Amino acid sequence: MSSAAAVTVLGSLHYDITVQGPALPRKGETVTGQSWRPKLGGKGRNQAAAAARAGAHTAMVGVVGGDQFGRELLADLDARGVDRRFVRIAGGAGSGMSVAIFDAEGDYGAVIVSGANLDLSDADVAAAQALWPQTAVLVLQNEVPDAANLAAAAAVRSAGGKVILNAAPARAMPGSLALLVDVLVVNAIEAAQLCGRAEPRSLEEAQAAAARLAQDFPAVIVTAGGAGVALADRSRRMSLPAVPVHVESTHGAGDEFVGWLAANLAGGATIDAALGAANAAAARLVGTPEHLRD
């Protein structure tokens, strides 16, 4: 496969186990579930899959373990046409994995074991140097070490590309990384954590949170679930209502949004047009039952 990559995702790969139950268990409680199944994930893998699904030439930089989970994750990237030449196999660590429990309404809670993802470093960024001049949009998340994110962001910005940071899960951000981010994407909970304010409960409150964060980033997108999505930069604000859909499962909606956003921006769309395409893609995923998703 050519080294050209319109979208490069540097991030996590997890082998997920999903469990369907009547409700999320409380502390100390055991509930009886209806079914379980494996599902490949990790925010990095999900966003790369979404960008490829949106039509972008996509590459992935990450780390998996030398185990069965790792082999299945690599095969999945191959099947999706994602360039995974720079996904390293770490022999001394197990692949990342998670367990997600879904309730009857489609909401979920999850536990993640990062495993080999924590071995991703600036050395992996250096090994993937052929990608950076061909990367129009780099996508980062917070499921891998900051040092790797920082090195990749610096390499892509130096080559003239743009950087999207999906700051999930929310954590303190090095100032040197914040200076390299073109678009920050967070959900309502993450926006609240980064702002030090109450969680936005409406699209108007999400818009206000985006505007506060836009004091520190060129553009900020706050996804607010069923309320919609808000965008702010240093000169304007805009928002889109959520696309009406029967909710089958919210799992992965944020990653679908980010992947489609990156693919559209890499293809030359304006941020407004990319926002609309990403909003629609997330709605389609939410309306699709888990067992029918590819």
How many residues would you count in the chain? 294
Element (H, E) at 153: helix 146-158
| Secondary-structure percent of the chain, ordered helix, strand, coil, rounded to 5 | 35, 25, 35
132 has which bridge partners?
none
Q: Which residue numbers are catalytic?
A: 255
| Two tokens, residue 250 | 């919210």
| Two tokens, residue 256 | 């679908």
Element (H, E) at 64: strand 58-65
What residues contact 212, with CB distance under 8 A and at least 6 apart?
Answer: 195, 197
Q: Compute the distance between CA of residue 45 and CA of residue 63 in angstroms, rounded to an integer.
A: 11
Contact 223, 188 (CB under 8 A): yes
| Two tokens, residue 230 | 């808000």
C-alpha angle 147-148-151 in degrees, rounded to nearest 5: 85
